Amino acid sequence: MKLEKVWTLCYSATGNTARAVDTVGAELAAKLGLPLEQISFTRPAEREKEYCFTGRDLVVVGTPTYAGKMPNKLLPDFQSRLHGNGALAVAVVTFGNRNYDNSLAELCAVLEADGFHTVAAGAFVGRHAFTDELAYGRPGWSDQFEMKEFAKQIAGKVNHLTDIPDPVQVPGDPAAPYYVPKGTDGQPAKFLKAKPKTKLAKCNGCGACARFCPMGAIDPQHPAEVPGTCIKCQACVRKCTKQAKYFDDEAFLSHVKMLEQTFSAPKENEVFL
């Protein structure tokens, strides 16, 4: 198959998924001797556009894992804004050292339904958005080495393709329900309505939290107010240079503590070709 370009496209609220996708994409482009173009699918305005590809493209598409699946509030954008038109695709998910559960299977299914042909898929560990206690510093150098080796394998596979490949096989069920978060007591932790709070004494009103919020949930004129839907991605917390944003919901904090207590052992990356 004659390819002309490698693309990367991902939703990445805190940067881990972008790091994984960009590493795979850059190595793929280098090994295939093709130009590379990167697309961010993170901010609301970026998800209002239509992205159309062709059979001459190879697209690395990525998303973090939220509750064992793709982020539910963003799923409709992935389903309606991306048009493969016969392009080859590599599905990439990141997960915060617990489990990617069904997110990779769901992403592969979405891409196939969008007109892509999946040739490979990978699930990579990244620092958990909720806490630095889980997978801090990942993806690190060893993870990036694995990503580059993965890309080399994909390039080898693509170079030998003479026809449309069968969809890549990955574990999981795209139709499975979301993972139910639990607290330290083992009971379901219900924090759907939790929103970030603001330490007013630290906030200088720069509006970075509003600019980086992937849901546009924070009022840019009054950053302490969150009138929109919060998906707990922690972009506002991670991007605030004054450390003014925080969560104090008891159920949420109990869930974070449970994750720290239960999933501290380093998990491995997994790839499929």
pLDDT tens for residues 216-255?
999 999 999 999 999 999 999 999 999 999 999 999 999 9
251: left (phi over 0), alpha (psi -120 to 50) or beta: alpha
CATH of 197-248 given 1.10.579.10, 3.40.50.300, 3.30.70.20, 1.10.3300.10: 3.30.70.20
The pLDDT tens digits of the residues spanning 112-152 come to 999 999 999 999 999 999 999 999 999 999 999 999 999 99
Domain range list for the chain: 5-177+267-272, 197-248
Would 5-177+267-272 and 197-248 be classified into the same CATH topology?
Answer: no
Q: What is the pLDDT of residue 101?
A: 98
The domain made up of 5-177+267-272 has a fold known as Rossmann fold (3.40.50)
| Mean pLDDT, the chain, whole residue set | 97
CA distances from 96 to 214, 221, 234 (A): 19, 32, 13
Residues of 221-242 as b/e, b for ≥16 C-beta within 10 angstroms? eebbebeeebbbbbbbbebbee
Per-residue pLDDT band for 198 (boundaries 50, 70, 90) equals very high
